[in-house]
Amino acid sequence: MNQAEATGGAGDSAGKVATCLLINPLSCRTLYGGLARKAELLARAHGLRVEVCGDPPRILKLLDELRARRAARLFVLSGDGTIQLIARYLAELPAGDWNPELLLLGGGRANVVPRAFGGTPALRALRRVLRALREQRPLRVESQPVLCVSQQGRPVQRGFILVGAMIDFGVRYCRDWRAAGTSWWHRGILADQISLLRLATLALIGRSPVPAAPQLVVRMQPVGRLYAPVRVLVAGALHDAGGHYNPYAARGEGPLRLTAVAAEAPRFWRNLPRMLTGRFDDQTMNVEQGYLSGHCHSVTIEGLSAYSLDGEPFDADPALPLLISTGHLLKVLRA
């Protein structure tokens, strides 16, 4: 990622607020421990404008207003879904239009994107950045490409992490579990872990609902090609996830990274810890063995009927190639 430095306080010389903090009060972690209220008080004490909103149309209206005022920075306390909404808005603006510096603070359940930029724990990260602004110290700004997913006859989707095959099934299973009730078991911070434990229990007793691995053709340009029933499919442009996982081999070049693993790949469960940390063995974890992974410039996938992008489900036409590439460069503050 390209890096730069930014300086300056929360307000501009004309007295207008140059920095806005958007808080999504519906994001999972903002519901606990008074996180939203504490962040709001902290931001207002430093002269930031604060907007508390979880409704997508209202968020888009706020973005229109901030764009018209050319706000320099947008701080976001939310989950990955709200960040995806903002990234899509910015990516669809004309070239050279408004592109504020973003501070992404983890207020959601998974917080994959904020974690990649030091945005968790959220209050600690917010305090660090506000202190740096107050003291006129430079902030590190990183250039983060947005993932673009396109297919003939369908709108382009934009985000950060795409998953397919059995991982997509797991994401949808967790979503369905959360939508099935309102208790702590379904809506609490540990709801996803509870649902996956339930899924594992069903598998142990022979009642697993996991479907068969889809037959896919995955082409990485210019790394390689995999034609097989695929168990694992993940693609993204994030450098990492804050040290939590890095499921890509250090092969090839390009801003896009992808891992696809065949259902019949040997030693899958034994190799899983190595995959999660990006330690792919070139002799036993290569495309001939059913492991396609590395850096590239674009990916085409044939046979995929569904995927999830930043936790949001999407359908695809398995008869048409799905193209994954990168596009608009966001400016993200490293907290």
CA angle 155, 156, 159 (to 5 degrees): 135
Average pLDDT over residues 33-39: 90
Question: Is 87 in contact with 114 (CB distance < 8 Å)?
Answer: no
pLDDT at 190: 76
pLDDT at 195: 80
CA contacts within 13 A on the Cβ side of 328: 26
CB-neighbour burial class of residue 312 (10 A; exposed 0-12, middle 13-18, buried 19+): middle
**Predicted confidence (pLDDT) at residue 27 exceeds the cutoff of 90:** no
pLDDT at 15: 35
Question: Is 168 in contact with 301 (CB distance < 8 Å)?
Answer: no
CA angle 150, 156, 160 (to 5 degrees): 85
Q: Which residue, 103, 139, 116, 138, is CA-closest to 19? A: 103
pLDDT by residue (tens digit) across 86-132? 999 999 999 999 999 999 999 988 888 999 999 999 999 999 999 99
CA distances from 90 to 27, 95, 97, 239, 267 (A): 21, 10, 8, 20, 42
Question: Is 51 in contact with 86 (CB distance < 8 Å)?
Answer: no
How many Cβ atoms sit within 10 Å of the Cβ of residue 243? 9
Judged by phi (left if over 0) then psi (alpha if -120 to 50, else beta), residue 276 lies in alpha
Average pLDDT over residues 326-330: 96
DSSP for residue 30: G
pLDDT by residue (tens digit) across 220-262? 987 789 999 999 999 998 876 555 678 999 999 999 999 999 9
12 pLDDT tier (thresholds 50, 70, 90): very low
One of 2.170.150, 2.160.20, 3.40.50, 2.60.200 is the CATH number of 161-178+209-309, namely 2.60.200
Give domain 3-144's CATH superfamily: Probable inorganic polyphosphate/atp-NAD kinase; domain 1 (3.40.50.10330)
pLDDT by residue (tens digit) across 287-305? 999 999 999 999 999 999 9
Question: What length is written for the chain?
Answer: 335
pLDDT by residue (tens digit) across 176-203? 777 888 887 877 777 777 887 887 887 7
Q: What is the rounded distance in angstroms from the CA atom of residue 271 to the CA atom of residue 95?
A: 43
pTM: 0.88
- What single letter denotes the amino acid at residue 274? R
Question: Is 261 in contact with 232 (CB distance < 8 Å)?
Answer: yes
Domain residue extents for the chain: 3-144, 161-178+209-309
